[in-house]
Amino acid sequence: MNQVEKENKLKTLFKTWANEKVQKIELLPKSGSNREYYRIWSENKTIIGSFNEDLKENIAFIEFSKHFKNKDLNVPEIYAQDLENHIYLQEDLGDETLFSLLSKIRIDYDFNEELIETYKKVIREMPKFQINGSEGLDYSKSYPRFSFDKQSMMWDLHYFKYYFLKLANIFFDEQELENDFHKFSDYLLQADSDFFLYRDFQSRNVMIKNNKPYFIDYQGGRKGALQYDLASLLYDGKAAIPQNLRIEFLEYYINETSKYIKLDKEKFKQYYHGFVYIRIMQAMGAYGFRGFYERKLHFLKSIPFAITNLEWLLKNVNLPIEVPTLTKALEAITKSEKLKQIGAELEKLTVHINSFSYKKGIPIDETGNGGGFVFDCRSLPNPGRFEEYKKITGMDKAVIDFLDKKEEMQEFLADIFSIVDKSVQKYMNRKFTNLMINFGCTGGQHRSVYSGERLKKYLEEKYDLKVKLRHREQE
């Protein structure tokens, strides 16, 4: 199904549900999955439309959402569904995630009182999902597994082995590592696991609306141990929670969960650190698959944070089992100069410059960062009105010479350079890694292309950063 067909199917479902005509539909930036989300507007409503070809995953999300909503938990309401066409409509919770809030108000990785209280709000909700939410939940809808069992753990450990260790060229003895994987998973399976395990409980899956946390992306949920989701939240790579706060949040979680069930505090902590390890390995498998294999740099940027977490664990946590080959492989990761250099290079600011035609819409920010600038070049002198320039672009000398002589164009660029300078300097000081700048004109051929080329040259000469320039309509 192509893009137009998807949008038409969603419009039809929306009209059937809302009895209103769609005024606008917009594809939202993708994250780590193949699911597609659209914001849909009518005269009186705004909702999120979802497209996902994985039927079982759709069923899991929809059924879990309805169950949690009946339990009065903070999840999006499901308004309508058309599973035959892989689509459903859900409540729009806005654009603010726990991670975006974290990025916006945290400076130099310090947590202020607002952030600490927000995390505590999230932690207070966790046992409601894990314990109350588990009651009466139809786990037969779970996908791909009923529980976080031996098979699930081995999948995660092999994911880590094949997509991180091998692709990062970390040496290990295959059979000895496999033996350690079995010993490690058998140890984790001793923890009480009769609870709802969210599976991907991290800061990008917590929405903040009206100062309250809401939860999304639990379609991979299943039965499992309490410790796993807490490990996911507190060792969420790029969230980079300071270690003293991780300890404080762990104690806070134990106290909150003790209001629902009786916990053996020391036993809980012992298994907790084991689940921290397996969660980090699962995440590193994802970084390797999405980063090394699929070449999505966003995921490679998380590797240094995972390495920092591993370093702390290896120095401070002693598991009650011996897994020497696994430990040796983890230590090798923390000592790899190649991985550290990848991280250092990716920490540079990347400015994504696009030229485009307004007839085909503004380019989507695929980094997930949001923000940036869109500059409209349509008020500037247009070479495309002259026959001699119609078949060439803003990269050709004749067009460059034409626009170089236009005072309006040079004043326009001078203003843009001044505006962009301020953002680039601030982004570099705050160690932000992505800034998007778009130039649009009628055909995306002359003025926008010329502007993008000029800005690229200006930035590369002035700053130590990376520039990715894309002339969309020329591809």
**What is the pTM for the complete model shown?**
0.75
What are the structure tokens assigned to 251, written together?
A: 């104690």
Q: Are residues 429 and 315 in the same domain?
A: no
The strand pair at 466-471 and 350-357 is best described as: parallel
Which residues are 469's β-sheet partners? 353
CATH number at residue 120: 3.90.1200.10
- Predicted local distance difference test score (pLDDT) of residue 205: 95
Q: Are residues 340 and 375 in the same domain?
A: no
Which of 368, 361, 389 has the alpha carbon at shortest distance from 450? Answer: 389
Q: Are residues 51 and 9 in the same domain?
A: yes
* Contact by Cβ (8 Å): 123, 115: no
What are the structure tokens assigned to 330, written together?
A: 């983890």
Q: Are residues 166 and 296 in the same domain?
A: yes
Q: Are residues 76 and 124 in the same domain?
A: no
Q: How far is Cα 468 from Cα 297, in angstroms, rounded to an integer?
A: 13
DSSP 145-184: -SBS-HHHHHHHHHHHIIIIITTTT----HHHHHHHHHHH
Q: Are residues 70 and 122 in the same domain?
A: no
Q: How far is Cα 338 from Cα 253, in angstroms, rounded to an integer?
A: 37
SS (H, E, C) 370-427: CCCEEEECCCCCCHHHCHHHCCCCCCCHHHHHHHHCCHHHHHHHHHHHHHHHHHHHHH
Q: How far is Cα 377 from Cα 350, in angstroms, rounded to an integer?
A: 23
Q: Are residues 107 and 255 in the same domain?
A: yes
Q: At 149, which amino acid appears?
A: D
Identify the DSSP state of 97: B
State how many domains the chain has.
3
Which of 216, 240, 230, 268 has the alpha carbon at shortest distance from 120? Answer: 230
Name the domain boundary from 38, 61, 91: 91
Sign of CA dihedral 333, 335, 341, 347: positive
Q: Are residues 185 and 289 in the same domain?
A: yes
Q: Are residues 166 and 77 in the same domain?
A: no
Q: What are the residue ranges in the chain where pLDDT is below 50?
A: none
Q: Are residues 77 and 188 in the same domain?
A: no
Q: At 190, which amino acid appears?
A: Q
E-strand stretches of 162-286? 195-197, 206-209, 212-215, 222-224
Find tokens 């299943």 and name the residue. Answer: 222
Q: Are residues 120 and 262 in the same domain?
A: yes
Name the domain boundary from 302, 318, 345: 345
Which residues are 437's β-sheet partners? 353, 373
Name the domain boundary from 329, 345, 361: 345
Q: Are residues 275 and 371 in the same domain?
A: no
Q: At 13, which amino acid appears?
A: L
Domain hosting 297: range is 98-345
